Structure 1
Amino acid sequence: MAGLYFDDLTVGQVFRHEIRRTITEADNVWFSAVTHNPAYLHLDEEYCRNETEFGQRLVNSAFTLGLMVGISVGDTTLGTAVANLGWDEVRFPKPLFHGDTIRVETEVVELRESRSRPEAGIVVFLHRAFNQRGELVAHCKRSGLQRRRPAA
């Protein structure tokens, strides 16, 4: 199991995830299609070239959010998460485009006991995604219910 137990985490701990991912046109078009998002910003190259300040299609921000969090799972919650409790302060300060490569880092910003589940604790992660130029392109806080280490 790759994930860490609640007891293994400390506030201020930072994970610099090894997985990087170049976002393709197929990723963006597929994700937009399966989520029924017909926004021209994601699907219509001609519209974006002529009618937007970007001059090209933008990567769907919901895909960016999912990818940013997904990259973190192997190092943090794989096999130890009970449930995702929510995302807060989701921001996209710079756009992503087809061909951009992202890297992700995660910081533990809060740990607290669960009042209703003594076998688990609540962790708040701060995820940050950067493009290949080191520019911050996305960040969010994610709260999760994390298993405690089983008694020996």
Structure 2
Amino acid sequence: MNVKDEIKKLRLAEEFEFMNSGAIEQFSKKIIGRLLQSTNAAYFSRLGGELTCDIPLGPPNAGISQNPSNPNKPKMEIRSRFLEEIYQDAFTFTFFSDLLVKNTKTLQDLHAHLSSPYTFETGLPQVRLEHVLNHPNNIRKVRQHQHGKRHVM
């Protein structure tokens, strides 16, 4: 193992020490649950099926299985360590994304070949307040806030 690998190993161990695995799993289950609900409503329920997900312990990995005799009921498996690594990566994304923009032409090259309203100039997309406030799920909450009612967004 070289020096960079040793430093990375120490950094990851330090990050892992301050992570709350239980909180990450609860948060992940909430997000995955919402994704399953919308996917099932849009696709699987129409077919008389259901997409499910298990989050077992184990090394980082994810996959999906499907019984050929019951193809409309696939099951995803996302191991808890994989979810923890995604959580860790979310914290370093901003740092590496900014470095990518400052030290390479990757984003400029991407823009040269892509014409999309979703391109952005910096390493991080800017989420504008109107994008959040005008989202259908938030309109009712914003109106309650404007009228002085207590709410959680």
Q: For this structure pair, what is the TM-score category when the shorter chain's length is used for normalisation?
A: under 0.3
Q: Which structure features the higher share of helix residues? A: 2
Which of these two proteins has the greater Rg computed from alpha carbons? 2
When normalised by structure 1's length, the TM-score is: 0.27
When normalised by structure 2's length, the TM-score is: 0.27
Higher relative contact order (CA 8 A, sep 6+): 1
